[in-house]
Amino acid sequence: MKKVISLSLFVALMTAMFVGCSTKETPKKESDKSIAVAKEEVLGKNTSLRLVALGQGVAPTTTISPAQAYALAKKAAVADAYKILAEKVKGVRIEGEDIIGNMMIKKSSIHTSVNAMIKGANIVETNFKDGLCEVEVELTLSHSQFTH
Amino acid sequence: MRSRSRTYSLTFSIYSLILFNSLALHASEYLISYRYVVKDSALYNESLSISQAMKKCSGSPQIALELQTDGNKNLKKIISQNSEKFTEYIHKLGMHVEYKDTTNKAMNKSTTIMTLQTTCFTVDFNDNFAKIAPLK
């Protein structure tokens, strides 16, 4: 009798485990789908595309007051946010360089650059905490802007 | 004799009127450029250049900004008094972003240069505020 009970418990546990695994797998598939959809997002006719970027900046060490630190950190954060928007709109140029001598890597460096003009972006939110300023910037692109 | 002197005075007044009007037209137009550099997430350098236009700018005024002046007619002082408002406005008009980043032996160095290319602005000074608008 004891053997039967232990066997049934074991079977119940195993089924519970498998069911648990199967329920955990389903949201992963959904998230994969959402990622795929986000990648395919394009600017169609009569539609607009909203781009959001979160920039971060810190104040220089030579500031004389918290107000000055905030103002300078905000400027750095805005520049960072604009850079992220530029990356999204126009893309990034990446160059890698490895120098190998005697079958060993002597020098390895990566250069990235962005060049763009950003017009009409809005600052949505600004946070300043522990010397770090975070600025959220949004840019709305519409199809009519690119018709010329 | 009298009529000749009258014509001279008339031509002189017309020329002076034209000269005065042309000077007055150019006086309210300014060339402004703004640039700041961010190195490794901290502000490194900032420069704002303001100059009166030496010749008339072409184009019509775009989105205007009103700044408090308190009777002051020096544009550089007015802008420095309202610097945050002015920089936000300039960003909306359009900034050129130039970013360079180098990673060497897991050490990262980055430089971002934000530039407002030299733009002609028309400025209307009133009693307590100045109205600034770019010409395009």
DSSP alpha helix (H) spans, chain B: 2-27, 75-81, 83-93
Q: Chain B residues with CB inside 8 Å of A113's CB?
A: 98-101
| Annotated domain spans of chain A | 1-41, 42-146
ipTM entry: 0.76
Give the Cα separation of A81 and A85 in Å (integer).
6
- CA of residue A82 relative to chain centroid, distance: 14
Question: Is B119 a member of any domain?
Answer: yes
Question: Is B69 a member of any domain?
Answer: yes
Structural domain range at position B130: 28-134
Give the total number of structural domains in chain B: 1
Residues A143 and A45: beta-carbon distance below 8 Å: yes
**For chain B, how long is the longest CA-to-CA vector?**
92
Closest to B104 measured CA to CA, from A102, A105, A111? A111
What pLDDT digit, counting tens, does each position of B13-38 carry? 665 555 444 444 444 899 999 999 99
Cβ contact, residue pair A111, B94, below 8 Å: no
Question: Is B9 a member of any domain?
Answer: no
What pLDDT digit, counting tens, does each position of A31-58 carry? 555 555 556 567 777 788 899 999 999 9
What distance in Å separates residue A31's CA from the closest CA in chain B? 32
